[in-house]
Structure 1
Amino acid sequence: MPELGESVTEGTITRWLKQVGDTVDVDEPLLEISTDKVDTEVPSPVAGTVLELLAGEDDTVDVGAVLARVGSGAPASQAPAAEAPAAEAPAEPAPEAPAAPAAAPADSGDATDVTLPELGESVTEGTITRWLKQVGDTVDVDEPLLEISTDKVDTEVPSPVAGTVLELLAGEDDTVDVGAVLARVGSGAPASQAPAAEAPAAEAPAAEAPEEPAPEAPAEPAPQAAPAAEAPAPAPAPSTPAAPAAESDGKLYVTPLVRKLAAQHGVDLAKVSGTGVGGRIRKDDVLAAAKSTPDATAAAPTAAPTAAPAATKLETSPLRGTTQPMTRLRKVVASRAVESLNTTAQLTTVVEVDVTKLAAFRDAKKGEFLEKTGNKLSFLPFFSLAAVEALRAYPIINSTVDGENIVYPDAENLSIAVDTEKGLYTPVLRDASSKNLAEIAAGIADLAARTRDSKLKPDDLAGGTFTITNTGSRGALFDTPLVFLPQSAILGTGIVFKRPGVVKVDGVEAIGIRSYVYLALSYDHRTIDGADAARYLTAVKNRLEEAEFSADLGV
């Protein structure tokens, strides 16, 4: 068990990544360890075979304890039964041998279903307006197969694979549900060609043979002509594949969405001139015609009311109705939270900050910032910079309590609260007050990424003197964050929101749309007074409202 940081004396094995008999390379992770400061992996110091595991999962072991043995010999568990592996060796390929041929037909001749994809929130169905490929046509990956119209968008559906169109399972003007199979694409011959060739018939599954060739082979020309069935005259014409683009009145194809809109407004499509590509009638054409139609307003009230949009439903958590043990991290956080509340006298002061000017500066610079640094310019780097700058002027907010003494650190080491699936971590951005916005943004992005990927080192979590928590990123207006020892204060930043506000224009008060944020400072009242907190927050507020950050951008 290696040393995992200052004051860490033990750790709990959360998971073995290798088992007895497994081979391992130098520095390849052997197991995962959880301490009261960090979750990390323990690598193997040598290459070889895992001979023995000397501790189990959930065991707590001291720093320096032997966890496993790795060498070049046979594992201890295999020594008594040395002949068993030899007997088992031939038996392993046996169950695998049939599996390889079984997978071959799926890759070679089976068709791939093309389904109607999800086309937006609350969209449950769509109408096929036009097939761009027909049975027997070849298609590439991502090449459009058909056009779909929904109540929100008209779009194309691409093929997920390259091959030949074997079957179309829905016709033009059909309304299909999301997830429904629209067509099949594969490497074999189309179903309509099965009677003319022996090979496809032989490959077809027995269950499908009686169904597909008999009804579909003679009827194959009919589906080709089906889109023209709306027009009485062209229906029997042999050149029906060209008919889907035209209606019986000679005008270009009208999408179901446009046709429905015309019906609602009492508009005769035969009298509408389209302004779309090739003269296609668009939604705007129908609305323009509706305004000029005398009886359009009378027809509108009689149209069927549109269905009310469905409410957004939250997904039910699988934890509902269960009992789960606390993780080690949750136990540590719980213990420290109670200790903090029992030891310190905490309260919170909140200020409102007008960040309208800052928001305009950020919008003007975020494109250049992303291009030059590779990091997004959010509000958090601005809040962080203003916060640590003010700590230099008001070090009591950055102080710690040592018995009856107050310790004022000579650096502003900013702890950043990071929410993960495992729980809350607070990695540290060291000497933050000496950094510019680009360096702070890069540091925050790096710490957040390594936290969520479980790649933090123990030192990344040690030495923080002041914490910032951005609960506004989850939509909170403000909160009263909890101070964690040995720190004396923590700053919570809320969501940036817009509302009417009073401003002065040429010396006259006026109401305008402004951007605001609430900053909440929780602190230990044993050493920090309310006046101290107010002075500190006012300094941060003034810095943000001035929004003079051009010299601090770092790009």
Structure 2
Amino acid sequence: MAVSVTLPALGESVTEGTVTRWLKAEGERVEADEPLLEVSTDKVDTEIPAPASGVLASIKVAEDETVEVGAELAIIDDGSGAPAAESAPAQSEAPAEEAPAQPEPAAAPAQEAPQQEAPAAPAGGAQGTDVVLPALGESVTEGTVTRWLKEVGEEVAEDEPLLEVSTDKVDTEIPAPTAGTLLEILVGEDETAEVGAKLAVIGQKGAAPAQAEAPAAPAPAQEAPKQEAPKQEAPAPAPQAPTTPAPQAVTTPAPDPVPAAPAPAPAAAPVTPAPAAGEADAAYVTPLVRKLAQESGVNLGSVKGTGVGGRIRKQDVIAAAEAAKQQAAPAAAAAPAASKAPAIEASPLRGQTVKMPRMRKVIGDNMMKALHGQAQLTSVVEVDITKIMRMRNKAKDAFAQREGVKLSPMPFFVKAAVQALKAHPVVNARINEDEGTITYFDTENVGIAVDAEKGLMTPVIKGAGDLNIAGIARKTAELAGKVRTNKISPDDMSGATFTISNTGSRGALFDTVIVPPNQVGILGIGATVKRPVVVDHPELGETIAVRHMTYLALSYDHRLVDGADAARYLTTVKQILEAGEFETEIGL
């Protein structure tokens, strides 16, 4: 059945979106709720999840194309694999039924033995559903099994992740096509198979008990020779036709010439000499693992494999690379003690011309609109926050345990800023140019600038004036986490009446920040530094002491806010911070 993927509503004022990147290609397997594509709007970039599990049959909207809300983006086929899974066991059952009827003639065994053993190797005498390597992309023809998530004999549920496969384009999980018991594993870890190759066999839930009842039936004596008969047929033709063992040895390792010994081991699930046979092939390394080792600078001779028969897996190379980094770090830190300058590496962007990201273009358009539409000015004050820093250091451990978030200096600045907005509404206002009016807001919705990988984003703390320090800290952490994990929604980004930007988080003393559109003020917080300051002590008089100092820069629209208004607002914020009366709010 085909499932349509449409562009969902991404906010009240959002009517269209631009497809910036497809995370899956046509023909690839997708799981329900797995990120399928990225969409950009004039407010936010977000990921669109897959509405159902299946294969991405077709992509209707290409990258960089813009469509309206509700438009069809792609089609997922969620039922294409079912018929193929049912037809495979039907073919494997046919030779199983003919096997007991053909051993009766005496002259036939020499010719029929290889024909019967060839299908028996992949089927292993077990009736069930074959797990095959699906198509993982148009140009992908093979994949390497990196890890089995289930063992032989374990129960698996339908669509439950069964194994992990790596290709030259992507690493993915292969789900179980049906529920039942994992009867056989035909392709071991770090082995490469072509698309469509059989990886394992899953028996129906009633198949395992049927095999268990066979030895307990009243005819165990008859079944024993039937099982021994194939074992005797292999050596029986050996004296008559010495060439028959050769095709047996050649047919099993056909997919992989090197692991010839471990190939027959999975054919008989109960037998466990596969690891022992694989020890002889421990030196064999898949191209994927070898390439990863070269890129990571790992010597494969020094890596102990944890795969089947001691083979080196991708995880072993990654672990060895991490261990090497940890050993090199202390040595590097101890040796060049004389040089304190940071190691500066050349950026890969040097000398390149790339397409401007949509988010960067949206930010630029908004900033130009704000600068051209407002008369902007910046005022700066210096604030002593020594009391707040000492208070924070005393309360941060208990605060984190009680509230579940870290206590940074940021909530103190937000609290002081919104308290001052209540006394100075001219800074918390909007100019309605079309109507020629001014709106003074009765709520403080504060935008918090967050430095994200795609660019600066400003989620909004709604009703910040009604929150205490703990509430502001929790909301700030929640919104910042949504931005950095690309889970932010357009509603989280809209409705700000005032903005705060912590430009000092990267070391800047202060910045002339730009007022966002439809606002008249933005407060920039500079870096907090220790430096000597003249302090008026009640007993010592004027003295010099080391204090925690920071700059607060208020940029404002001079069409509404005068310099005196800005100075009065900054002075109020400064007084609140230097008084530092937040003990009850942080539990002191």
Normalising by the residue count of structure 2, what TM-score does the alignment of the two structures yield? 0.56
**1:499, 1:99 → 2: CA distance?**
71
Aligned amino acid, residue 98 of structure 1: D
Give the superposition deviation at 1:384.
0.7
User: Aligned match of 2:530 in 495, 498, 520?
Assistant: 498
Query: Equivalences for 1:41-190 in 2 at 5 Å?
Result: 41-72=47-78, 92=195, 97-98=255-256, 101=259
Task: Flag the 1:10–1:543 CA change in 2: closer, same or farther, 3 A.
Answer: same
Match of 2:157 in 1: none
User: Aligned match of 1:523 in 556, 567, 571?
Assistant: 556
Aligned amino acid, residue 519 of structure 1: L
**2:337, 2:483 → 1: CA distance?**
45
Task: Flag the 1:307–1:512 CA change in 2: closer, same or farther, 3 A.
Answer: closer
Q: Which blocks of at least 5 consecutive residues in structure 1 are unaligned? A: 76-84, 112-178, 189-202, 204-256, 258-305
Task: Flag the 1:456–1:107 CA change in 2: closer, same or farther, 3 A.
Answer: farther
Whether 1:37 and 2:43 are equivalent positions in the alignment is yes
Aligned amino acid, residue 20 of structure 2: T
Whether 1:444 and 2:476 are equivalent positions in the alignment is yes
**2:531, 2:23 → 1: CA distance?**
53
- Give the % identical residues: 50
**CA RMSD, Structure 1 to Structure 2 (Å):** 3.6
**2:281, 2:14 → 1: CA distance?**
57
**1:363, 1:73 → 2: CA distance?**
58
Give the superposition deviation at 1:74.
5.7
Task: Flag the 1:56–1:497 CA change in 2: closer, same or farther, 3 A.
Answer: same
**1:95, 1:324 → 2: CA distance?**
43
User: Aligned match of 1:396 in 420, 423, 426?
Assistant: 426
User: Aligned match of 1:539 in 550, 554, 572?
Assistant: 572
Task: Flag the 1:310–1:456 CA change in 2: closer, same or farther, 3 A.
Answer: closer
Task: Flag the 1:475–1:95 CA change in 2: closer, same or farther, 3 A.
Answer: farther
Whether 1:423 and 2:465 are equivalent positions in the alignment is no
Give the superposition deviation at 1:503.
1.2
Give the superposition deviation at 1:444.
0.9
Match of 2:352 in 1: 322
Match of 2:94 in 1: none
Match of 2:508 in 1: 476
Give the superposition deviation at 1:409.
1.8
Please tell me whether the aligned partners of residues 382 and 544 of structure 1 are also in contact (alpha carbons under 8 angstroms): yes
Aligned amino acid, residue 35 of structure 1: T
Match of 2:373 in 1: 343
Match of 2:490 in 1: 458
Task: Flag the 1:43–1:310 CA change in 2: closer, same or farther, 3 A.
Answer: closer
Aligned amino acid, residue 437 of structure 2: N
**2:353, 2:507 → 1: CA distance?**
29
Give the superposition deviation at 1:310.
6.6
Match of 1:467 in 2: 499
Aligned amino acid, residue 313 of structure 1: A
Please tell me whether the aligned partners of residues 33 and 51 of structure 2 are also in contact (alpha carbons under 8 angstroms): yes
**1:107, 1:345 → 2: CA distance?**
78
> Alignment partner of 2:542: what SS?
strand
Give the superposition deviation at 1:21.
3.6
Whether 1:367 and 2:367 are equivalent positions in the alignment is no
Whether 1:514 and 2:547 are equivalent positions in the alignment is yes
Give the superposition deviation at 1:393.
1.1
Aligned amino acid, residue 327 of structure 1: P
Match of 2:20 in 1: 14
**1:484, 1:187 → 2: CA distance?**
56
Match of 1:331 in 2: 361
Please tell me whether the aligned partners of residues 395 and 587 of structure 2 are also in contact (alpha carbons under 8 angstroms): no
Match of 2:586 in 1: 553
Task: Flag the 1:509–1:362 CA change in 2: closer, same or farther, 3 A.
Answer: same
Match of 1:384 in 2: 414
Task: Flag the 1:69–1:184 CA change in 2: closer, same or farther, 3 A.
Answer: closer
**2:50, 2:398 → 1: CA distance?**
44
C-alpha offsets along residues 399-424 of structure 1, whole Å, 9 cap, x if unaligned? 01112111112211111101111101
Give the superposition deviation at 1:15.
1.8
> Alignment partner of 1:322: what SS?
coil
**1:525, 1:426 → 2: CA distance?**
23
Aligned amino acid, residue 362 of structure 2: V
> Alignment partner of 1:41: what SS?
strand
Normalising by the residue count of structure 1, what TM-score does the alignment of the two structures yield? 0.60
Task: Flag the 1:319–1:98 CA change in 2: closer, same or farther, 3 A.
Answer: same
Give the superposition deviation at 1:353.
0.4
> Alignment partner of 1:467: what SS?
strand
Match of 1:217 in 2: none
Please tell me whether the aligned partners of residues 110 and 186 of structure 1 are also in contact (alpha carbons under 8 angstroms): no
Task: Flag the 1:486–1:99 CA change in 2: closer, same or farther, 3 A.
Answer: farther
Task: Flag the 1:315–1:506 CA change in 2: closer, same or farther, 3 A.
Answer: same
User: Aligned match of 1:356 in 386, 389, 406?
Assistant: 386
**1:44, 1:99 → 2: CA distance?**
40
Please tell me whether the aligned partners of residues 17 and 29 of structure 1 are also in contact (alpha carbons under 8 angstroms): yes
User: Aligned match of 2:517 in 485, 509, 528?
Assistant: 485
**1:324, 1:537 → 2: CA distance?**
42
Match of 1:291 in 2: none
**2:418, 2:514 → 1: CA distance?**
19
Aligned amino acid, residue 336 of structure 1: N
Please tell me whether the aligned partners of residues 55 and 78 of structure 2 are also in contact (alpha carbons under 8 angstroms): yes
Comparing 494-503 with 36-45, greater Cα deviation is found at 36-45
Task: Flag the 1:71–1:406 CA change in 2: closer, same or farther, 3 A.
Answer: same
**1:534, 1:381 → 2: CA distance?**
22
Give the superposition deviation at 1:532.
0.9
**1:187, 1:476 → 2: CA distance?**
49
Q: Which blocks of at least 5 consecutive residues in structure 2 are unaligned? A: 1-6, 82-133, 136-140, 143-192, 200-254, 263-274, 285-296, 312-330
**1:469, 1:30 → 2: CA distance?**
33
Task: Flag the 1:468–1:100 CA change in 2: closer, same or farther, 3 A.
Answer: farther
C-alpha offsets along residues 460-515 of structure 1, whole Å, 9 cap, x if unaligned? 10111111110111001011100111111110001111111111223511111111
> Alignment partner of 2:535: what SS?
strand
> Alignment partner of 1:67: what SS?
strand
Give the superposition deviation at 1:359.
1.5
Give the superposition deviation at 1:307.
8.8
